[in-house]
């Protein structure tokens, strides 16, 4: 990214505009190498939470047997953790806009560690549910606050690339977490996997403490220090970020992103009961290995989509004679939302139903990889767009979108197994392919009418001057 930092797209002379000069100075607080260290640290801090969430899934059948429960009941722990993520992301993001990004990471990661200890020592379903929620609450700061950090240190035309690198590195967690959880469950115990998460949570806390500087605008920090930190804490409403969903653009794109992400969850959550059952695979480590193609797709898709979104912004701004239209970035999400995500889940359903044996297994691995690419081709440009249009409240915007997305997915995942049992894998996957295409329609709507939608509700949208 060094080259782009030396050749910014927004070429209006900063000296002629005090607001632009201020932002130029904010982006110059850190050298390119320091920015890379910052991105590496926040990616690692987001990687561990993803590892915590994904490693639980292959363990569900074994946990159900050990605690005398059933798969659908233990699966509720996934839904509960998503609810905790929804609430937690709002709280952490809101306070990160007041007390700083570093302080929030230093507060959330210990919650993840404590929750991991609780899950590892749980001997009843209610206790497991409680500590799983604490673990997820601590993990929920990673993506929204990390995106806020990206917005703090990178200019508009660099932001998509940086966001893609952040997403790609942190999404290594989903790539290896099911395999990690499967190996721990099959060859030792699912509890050892949770103890490992506690140790890794500590290893995430240490680099944040040692190497992550505060990236929030110093003026914002000083303003709250002068008011008094305790008084400020009492006057903050952590759920005020939900008010950002009054923006039609944010709300519609949140639904579009959720529609795409549901295809990921409908493939992953019941995998032991779909691919595992159809192809007679009961080894938790092997089931966990099935998640690797999806994670690999995430890792490849995120940085690729980030670079594509930056190039799209540059191309369309030149084509418009220098005019910046925020919705141009969303064009980079069209292939992901319109083709990769819906088609992959539809083909997975067809394959599971009609293609037996080794060919079916190979095809499913291809569709999982395709879905992983599609998810990030969709979500990476959307996330950068959130930061673009509400730059001063970037973490809160990401959290509001992620919160609603997590709540919808939490309620939906609870119904995956009952729905599959009732109508079958193919019909279930076809249903979610249709939902993904509806999300694609919402994306097209925003690209076409985004400027008018922003005019409906004045949210204090960012401009070229303050981006």
The tens-digit pLDDT sequence of the chain (467 residues) is: 443 333 334 444 444 566 667 667 778 889 989 999 999 999 888 887 777 766 777 777 788 888 888 777 877 777 787 788 878 888 898 888 888 899 999 999 999 999 999 999 998 989 998 998 999 899 888 888 988 899 889 888 888 888 888 888 777 776 677 777 778 777 788 888 889 889 888 888 999 999 999 998 888 777 766 555 555 555 677 788 888 999 999 999 999 999 999 998 888 877 777 787 788 887 767 777 777 888 888 888 989 999 999 999 999 999 998 899 999 999 999 999 999 999 999 999 999 889 888 898 899 999 999 999 999 999 999 999 998 998 888 888 988 898 888 788 878 877 887 888 889 889 999 999 999 999 999 999 999 999 999 999 888 888 877 77
Count, residues in the chain: 467
Spatial separation of the C-alpha atoms in residues 157 and 369, rounded to whole Å: 29
- Position 386 scores a pLDDT of 93
- Position 6 scores a pLDDT of 37
Spatial separation of the C-alpha atoms in residues 286 and 268, rounded to whole Å: 14
Phi, psi for 239 (deg, rounded to 5): -95, 5
Residue 418: count other Cβ atoms within 10 Å of its Cβ. Answer: 11
- Position 73 scores a pLDDT of 82
In terms of Cα–Cα distance, which of 337, 428, 421 is closest to 376? 337
Question: Where do the domains of the chain lie, and which CATH numbers do they carry?
Answer: 29-215+224-466 (1.20.1250.20)
Q: Which residues of 42-57 are buried (b: 16+ CB within 10 A; e: fewer)?
A: bbbbbbbbbbbbbbbb
Spatial separation of the C-alpha atoms in residues 443 and 252, rounded to whole Å: 8
Spatial separation of the C-alpha atoms in residues 197 and 342, rounded to whole Å: 33
Residue 153: count other Cβ atoms within 10 Å of its Cβ. Answer: 20
Q: Which residues of 70-98 are buried (b: 16+ CB within 10 A; e: fewer)?
A: eebebbbbbbbbbbbbbbbbbbbbbbbbb
- Position 5 scores a pLDDT of 38
- Position 106 scores a pLDDT of 93
The helix/strand count (H/E) of the chain reads as: 23, 0
Exposure of 65 in the CB half-sphere (CA atoms within 13 A): 7
In terms of Cα–Cα distance, which of 59, 108, 67, 320 is closest to 208? 108
Please name the residue ranges forming H helices in 140-283: 142-153, 156-170, 172-187, 190-211, 218-227, 229-235, 248-268, 275-278
Residue 358: count other Cβ atoms within 10 Å of its Cβ. Answer: 9
Report CA dihedral (361, 366, 367, 370) to the nearest 10 degrees: 160
- Position 8 scores a pLDDT of 39
Spatial separation of the C-alpha atoms in residues 445 and 456, rounded to whole Å: 15
Give the end-to-end CA distance of the chain in Å, rounded to a whole number.
18
């Amino acid at each position: 990214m060094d080259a782009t930092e030396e050749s910014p797209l927004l070429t209006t002379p900063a000296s002629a505009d005090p607001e632009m000069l201020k932002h130029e100075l904010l982006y110059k607080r850190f050298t390119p190498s320091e920015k890379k260290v910052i991105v590496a640290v926040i990616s690692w801090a987001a990687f561990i939470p993803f590892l915590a969430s994904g490693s639980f899934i292959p363990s569900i059948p074994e946990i159900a047997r050990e605690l005398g429960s059933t798969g659908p009941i233990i699966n509720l722990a996934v839904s509960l953790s998503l609810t905790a993520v929804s609430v937690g992301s709002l709280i952490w993001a809101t306070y990160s806009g007041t007390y700083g990004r570093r302080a929030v990471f230093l507060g959330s990661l210990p919650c993840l560690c404590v929750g991991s200890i609780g899950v590892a020592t749980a001997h009843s379903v209610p206790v497991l549910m409680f500590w799983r929620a604490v673990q997820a609450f601590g993990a929920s700061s990673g993506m929204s606050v990390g995106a806020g950090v990206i917005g703090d240190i990178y200019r508009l035309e660099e932001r998509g690339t940086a966001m893609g690198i952040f997403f790609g590195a942190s999404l290594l967690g989903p790539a290896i977490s099911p395999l990690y959880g499967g190996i721990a469950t099959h060859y030792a115990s699912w509890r050892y996997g949770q103890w490992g998460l506690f140790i890794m949570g500590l290893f995430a806390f240490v680099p944040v403490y040692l190497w992550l500087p505060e990236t929030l605008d110093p003026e914002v920090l000083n303003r709250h220090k002068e008011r008094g930190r305790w008084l400020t804490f009492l006057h903050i409403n952590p759920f005020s970020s939900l008010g950002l969903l009054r923006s039609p653009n944010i709300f519609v794109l949140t639904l579009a992103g959720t529609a795409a992400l549901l295809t990921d969850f409908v493939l992953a959550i019941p995998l032991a009961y779909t691919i595992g059952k159809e192809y007679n695979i009961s080894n938790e480590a092997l089931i966990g290995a099935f998640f690797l193609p999806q994670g690999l797709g995430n890792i490849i898709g995120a940085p690729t989509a980030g670079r594509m979104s930056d190039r799209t912004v540059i191309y369309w701004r030149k084509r418009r004679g220098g005019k910046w239209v925020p919705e141009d970035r969303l064009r980079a999400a069209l292939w992901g939302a319109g083709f990769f995500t819906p088609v992959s889940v539809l083909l997975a359903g067809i394959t599971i139903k009609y293609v037996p044996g080794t060919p079916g297994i190979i095809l499913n691995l291809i569709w999982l990889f395709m879905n992983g690419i599609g998810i990030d081709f969709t979500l990476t440009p959307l996330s950068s767009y959130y930061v673009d249009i509400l730059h001063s409240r970037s973490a809160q915007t990401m959290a509001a979108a992620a919160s609603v997305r997590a709540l919808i997915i939490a309620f939906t995942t609870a119904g995956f197994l009952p729905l599959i049992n009732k109508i079958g894998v193919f019909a279930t996957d076809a249903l979610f392919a249709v939902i993904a295409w509806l999300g694609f329609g919402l994306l097209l709507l925003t690209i076409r009418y985004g400027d008018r939608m922003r005019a409906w509700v004045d949210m204090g949208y960012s401009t070229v001057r303050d981006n």
